[in-house]
Amino acid sequence: MTETKIAMTIKEASEYTGIGRNTMRNLVEWGKLPVLKIGRKVLIKSDILEKFMEVNEGKNLRDKGDVKAVTRKSAV
């Protein structure tokens, strides 16, 4: 049985979604994905990540202007 994580590192989120690590880092830097920071570690909650994927389906994730930001409020 696989265990579902409540949050993932950028590397794990990248592997989970198929989005490249550099693109994932850019999305975080641009404020499009809310994150939890613990020291240098950055965690992305899995429910936020799934909502982000739904909201941005068909968007060019490398174009900052084309990507819609997801917030905790919009993921509830």
pLDDT tens, 13-28? 999 999 999 999 999 9
**Domain presence at residue 69:** yes
Give the model's pLDDT for residue 2.
60
pTM tops 0.75, yes or no: yes
**Domain presence at residue 53:** yes
Task: Work out the percent of the chain whose per-residue pLDDT is above 90.
Answer: 86
The H-or-E segment that residue 42 falls in is strand 41-45
Range of the domain at 20: 7-75
Tracing tokens 């979604």 back to the chain, one arrives at 17
Q: Please give the single-letter amino acid code of residue 23.
A: T
* Overall number of domains in the chain: 1
Rounded (10°) angle between helices 10-17 and 46-55: 50
Three-state secondary structure readout of 5-30: CCEEEHHHHHHHHCCCHHHHHHHHHC
